[in-house]
Structure 1
Amino acid sequence: MRVLAAGAVTFLLMLTGLEAASAATRPGSVGLVSFTAASYSRSTGTAGLTVDWYTASHARSYEVFISRHYSMDNAKRYTTTASAKTFTGLARGASYFVQVRARNGSAVGSKSARVGHTTIRRLDPAAGPRYRVMTYNVCSQKCSSWSTRQPAALARIAAYSPDVIAAQEAVNLAVPPATGYAEAVSKSSKRLLYKTSRFTVAEPTTPVPADPGENHVGCDRTWPKSTTGYVYLGYHDAGCRYAVWAVLVDRQTGQPTVFVDVHTVAGDNETRAEQREAEIKTLTSHLTTINPGGLPVVYAGDFNSHKNRDNDDMASVFHRLGYYDAFDLALKLYRQHHNSYNGFDVVPRISYKWGDHVDHVWIRPSEGRIERWANGALISNGRMVRPIPSDHSPIVVDVRLNR
């Protein structure tokens, strides 16, 4: 039996100790996992999702878990050395949940919060015009300090330069003509604005009727025939509820599109949920009458509704008519987890499961594709930049229509 010299024994013990210490170092957290992109294969009818996360300290690799269930039952596990992962071959129009943890040899870090997203349902070829749509509740009346906040709100508009703006609570919003925007229609604090270099308002195909007057609760009835107008949605929360709409014609292609601006009643109780459902039923029914030629329709606004609410029945009305949230149709996502209702909080409101945005854009996948969805808040070093323009952040969507 051979005996090692004392110095050699000491060296081997030191080396073994270093390796053990290194293998035992637990990696840090990966932080917030975000969905950043989605895909759809027309040849296979399957979908894809991409997630990314922060690089964790002491991480040599990452374990990524994906499941069809929030409980993470029957989750599939993948290993990667990158801080991103793309999944392919997923069911279309289905919800998936993802968790990630870092690994360092035999040591593993804590799992991230579970995050969810729905895959793209359909993606037709899109050779038509591309429009940027912004929906923005600026709270110009009910929220204080509008004179201070308005320049910041206009700066958000200028930063994204949308082609169409669906503004809510916007009576006091002053958009100078020099900015390149004009108003197509307004009613009860909803204002639908468009970029004059991009659109004109369609000429009425029938004479515009006289104002139809008021109904029994003192609310104006729906304006029935024109290429701009409003729809009376009901008397809810002690107020007359409306949506506005306009047919805008692309200056370059001559193609018309119907854009709708809506603000449904607020509240998370069952009564308010039922009222929102009724409002959207009324709105979509009138739009079918208003749009007999079947032009593409883009609905945008503050819908006071999101997936985390069990009584989100309003979404079911849209789904039955073939409309889906641009958030679930987008090829690219930016700030998925930032709630579009910010409450004037300097620290952004984060929702891990769905994002909780209450401001939406809805389209039919058969009529267009969503190239990008973004929360348009101004954030620096993880904080909302003051003055915060509104208690809502703008949602900005790039849509390319099928023609």
Structure 2
Amino acid sequence: MSGLPRFLALVGAGLALTVTAGVLAATTDSEGNGPVLAFAGIETPYLKLVSVDVEPRQVSLAWAGNGEQYRVSLGDDLARPDRTIVTTEPHVILPAPDAADPQGKVNYRVEEVTDDARGLALEGTVTLLPSVPRKPRVRRTAPEGAVVRWKPADYATTYDVAVSRSRKKLPSKVKRLARGGTAFATDALEPETTYWVRVRAVGEAGVSDFGPATKVITPPDTSEFTVGSWNICSEACPDYGGRVGGQASQVHAAEIDIMTLQEAGGERVGPTTRAAFSGGPRGLVPADGGGNSRYILYSADKFEQLGGGRWSLGHGRWATWARFEDLKTERPFIVVSVHLLSGHGKTGERASEMRSLMGSLASVNPDGDPVVLAGDFNSGTHRSGDTVGPVVRSAQFRDTVEIAEETENAQVNTGSRRGDTAIMSADHVDHIYVSPDWEVPAWKQWASLSGTTYVGTWLSDHNMIGATLGLERDPEDAVERPSQVVRVPADLHEGSPGTVN
């Protein structure tokens, strides 16, 4: 070949090699694979993962390779996968929950299939987020706390609990259960307050969203109400029909919650008594089981009667009793209306009657519920040889007039006077005794006086008395074992909803 033709041939060959190299460089990846090489039949088999996306309920895989078909498997044990699919596409989306282990881990394999023989394969592991917990249920409330439970969430190792006073807003910090479990107990709440409780699951991949909120209303710590007592002298004193309306008006105006009456009438005037004293601002209703001239009336809006009846005390004397449940504190208690035998020389008989009452009370109160003893005891510290007081005090009862934080007209004798002149002896035959469970904010005697002289309409030979009592919720209702927690931020939604290994 002459010089010029040979030169042109070499230049042409160089240009062809340059163009070929450029095409190969433009269409070949870093591992030497590409469509030109595949077309030329010089590309080696390859398979590589492009992306893995983890959603709470599924796994998305994408890969690059030069195989004709691919088998994709998911499962805890890939030798026996839970899910398998064969596809010609380089990507797949598979539901994952059934293929995960209890911690949410899912193994995957992408393998090339050629003539039913396995070729190249890729394997890895993803971890799913835990599922969103269901709405928790309130199992118990107390003035200072509550206990809630919920069903287990998939792939959860523990839970975060958000306690808020807003249904829509989360607190900045939430409580993570240090020991796991599906219950949360707290003793850090306030009485008579509304809270909202939400739960989210915590797993190896992160946290779920918070589930729906549950309303928790804590009950009051203490209930306060007034118990009254009055010997109304219905039949032994004249003109009961003219007096009973004024007596009832005084009871209703005083907003008594539980009223105990003595000398309130038997078969003849008992119906008149019950009708006159029923109703009023507190909606008083007669307690079942009352009678023998001793009655108990109560506010059905505040209490539920659980039982009641009468006890014979001997010497023709009776006591009426009723067991109530305080609707605020859900605590049961007993009220007794009593009228012991009168007469200065009857101390022995009264002591016997009082011991009989205490025995009957013990028979209906095996659990030691709080008790109120109210009535005309015909006995007091002013009477020498008093035997009733020692019996009552030996049973740990206290006279409310002696322990009340505030008193009114305590210096006036409740059942004795000289004509229209009050006896200012601070001695009483009418008493409201309480067991140790009660607080006594106030005690009052209704005595309309000008100096030491009674004024106004004469209603009875005794004055009405009332004690404002406080009853705490049973200490056994307290949350004794609050959950062990650590505080974590409420906002933890960072990164992907799962992890890839």
Are residue 303 (structure 1) and residue 338 (structure 2) matched? Answer: no
Give, in whole Å, the separation in 1 of the partners of 2:360 and 2:385. 24
Determine helix, strand or coil for the equivalent of 2:322.
Answer: strand
Q: Pairwise mapping of residues 328-339 of structure 1 onto structure 2 (< 5 A)? A: 328-339=402-413
Partner of 1:145: 239
How many Å apart are 1:155 and its aligned residue? 2.2
Give, in whole Å, the separation in 1 of the partners of 2:356 and 2:221. 32
* Segments ≥4 residues shifted beyond 4 Å: none
Partner of 2:305: 201
How many Å apart are 1:342 and its aligned residue? 4.1
Partner of 2:276: 175
Give, in whole Å, the separation in 2 of the partners of 1:153 and 1:380. 20
Query: CA 1:328–1:136 in 2, change beyond 3 Å: closer, same or farther?
Result: same
Which stretches in structure 1 are left out of the alignment for 5+ residues? 1-125, 203-226
Give, in whole Å, the separation in 2 of the partners of 1:316 and 1:177. 35
How many Å apart are 1:248 and its aligned residue? 1.2
Query: CA 1:130–1:389 in 2, change beyond 3 Å: closer, same or farther?
Result: same
Q: Which residue, 325, 337, 344 being the options, matches 2:399?
A: 325
Deviations 1:306-341 (Å, cap 9, x if unpaired)? 111121111111111111111111111111211101
Give, in whole Å, the separation in 1 of the partners of 2:423 and 2:240. 22
Query: CA 1:159–1:380 in 2, change beyond 3 Å: closer, same or farther?
Result: farther
Contact 2:234 2:264 (8 Å CA) reproduced: yes
Determine helix, strand or coil for the equivalent of 1:192.
Answer: strand
The alignment covers a number of residue pairs equal to 244
Letter in 1 for 2:321: W
Partner of 1:279: 353
Structure with the larger strand share: 2
Contact 1:175 1:181 (8 Å CA) reproduced: no
Give, in whole Å, the separation in 2 of the partners of 1:396 and 1:306. 17
Q: Which residue, 325, 340, 347 being the options, matches 1:249?
A: 325
Partner of 1:391: 461
Query: CA 1:388–1:344 in 2, change beyond 3 Å: closer, same or farther?
Result: farther
Partner of 2:222: 128
Percent identical among aligned pairs is 29
Q: Which residue, 151, 160, 163 being the options, matches 2:254?
A: 160
Which stretches in structure 2 are left out of the alignment for 5+ residues? 1-219, 474-501
Contact 1:127 1:400 (8 Å CA) reproduced: no
Give the TM-score normalised by structure 2. 0.47
Q: Which residue, 314, 334, 341 being the options, matches 1:234?
A: 314
Q: Which residue, 433, 438, 444 being the options, matches 1:368?
A: 438
Query: CA 1:197–1:175 in 2, change beyond 3 Å: closer, same or farther?
Result: farther
Give, in whole Å, the separation in 2 of the partners of 1:176 and 1:334. 24
How many Å apart are 1:380 and its aligned residue? 4.5
Letter in 2 for 1:386: G
Give, in whole Å, the separation in 1 of the partners of 2:232 and 2:417. 12
Partner of 2:424: 350
Give, in whole Å, the separation in 1 of the partners of 2:400 and 2:431. 7
